[in-house]
């Protein structure tokens, strides 16, 4: 019991020092720390802390790291299980390559790639901005210039970069540079971040082919930019589709419906174009 208490106290101390913790959250954590140091029973103070965090927790309005801590103290430790970022920091094998795509909320960008054969890892994160170690709060506040993105590490013997580009077009709206679907803001803009000349050539050719296909009535505005530093997002955001299945299912369903309607309109438009040419 004492060992578990010390683990939780360490978590609390780290959250107090975490710059991403909101002031109000920090006040609640500091209050527990001071009370325990003054001799109040840790169990009672932890219950008080849980009660104070609960109203924001049920509205999904705690910061990511505090959310993980809340899941830990409310009997849902699997939701706070640390995501292994080893592959992000490890050197790639000769047959491995990385792709970085931004296409709206990264919660919905992971599963489509993660489900493909040859994918070693899909990591949610932030890139394209001007601030080191950005937090989720900073990014969604549009203070850092970053976009939400995914870094995909893949085996080139199984899947090719061009295949991933093709999938990217299928799950995003390339005609919207102000966000994606219900996700509005510059931090949700669609971007293909290329890591070398070969990726740029493939992405550029694919974009030109899409523009010439007549699939969309509006211009293709997804931009192709040189890759910058990729910062992995907080643990809460990693593999969101696995840890928060019901919430993810609702979000993904809305996204799929929007894209299905868009793709249907595209087919009708191209059919009418061919009909007029006869």
Active site residues per annotation: 105
Bridge partner list, 164: none
How far apart, in Å, are the Cα atoms of 138 and each of 58, 120, 126?
22, 29, 11
**Tokens describing residue 108:** 């919905």
Neighbours of 53 (CB within 10 A): 22
List, in order, residues 6 or more apart from 56 with CB less than 8 Å away.
Answer: 62
Describe the strand order of the beta sheet including 231-232 as a list of residue ranges: 223-226, 191-194, 96-102, 147-155, 119-127, 231-232
Q: Which string of DSSP letters, residue by residue, matches 135-204?
A: -HHHHHTT-S--EEEEEEEEETTT--HHHHHHHHHHHS-TT-SSEETTEESGGG--EEEESSHHHHHHHH
For 227, which DSSP code? -
Cα separation, 100 vs 129, in Å, equals 14
Number of H helices, E strands in the chain: 11, 8
Q: In 3D, which of 160, 127, 159, 164 has the Cα closest to residue 144? A: 127
Query: What 3-state class would DSSP assign to 125?
Result: strand
């Amino acid at each position: 019991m004492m060992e578990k208490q010390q683990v939780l106290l360490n978590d609390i101390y780290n959250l107090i020092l975490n710059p991403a913790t909101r002031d109000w959250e920090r006040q609640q954590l500091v209050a527990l720390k001071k009370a325990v140091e003054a001799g109040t029973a840790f169990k009672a103070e932890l219950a008080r802390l849980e009660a104070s965090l609960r109203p924001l927790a049920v509205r999904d309005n705690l910061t990511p790291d505090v959310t993980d801590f809340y899941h830990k103290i409310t009997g849902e430790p699997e939701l706070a299980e640390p995501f292994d970022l080893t592959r992000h920091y490890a050197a790639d094998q000769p047959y491995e390559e990385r792709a970085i795509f931004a296409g709206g909320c990264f919660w919905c960008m992971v599963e489509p790639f993660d489900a493909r054969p040859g994918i070693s890892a899909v990591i949610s994160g932030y890139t394209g901005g001007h601030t080191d170690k950005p937090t989720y709060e900073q990014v969604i506040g549009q203070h850092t210039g970053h976009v939400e993105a995914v870094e995909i590490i893949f085996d080139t013997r199984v899947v090719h970069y061009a295949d991933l580009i093709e999938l990217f077009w299928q799950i995003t709206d390339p005609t919207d540079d102000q966000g994606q679907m219900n996700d509005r803001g510059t931090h949700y803009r669609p971007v293909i971040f290329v890591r070398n000349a070969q990726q740029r050539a493939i992405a550029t050719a694919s974009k030109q082919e899409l523009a010439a296909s007549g699939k969309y009535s509006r211009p293709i505005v997804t931009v192709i930019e040189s890759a910058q530093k990729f910062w992995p997002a907080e643990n809460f955001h990693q593999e969101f589709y696995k840890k928060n299945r019901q919430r993810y299912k609702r979000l993904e369903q809305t996204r799929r419906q929007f894209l299905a309607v868009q793709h249907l309109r595209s087919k009708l438009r191209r059919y009418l174009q061919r009909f007029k040419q006869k």
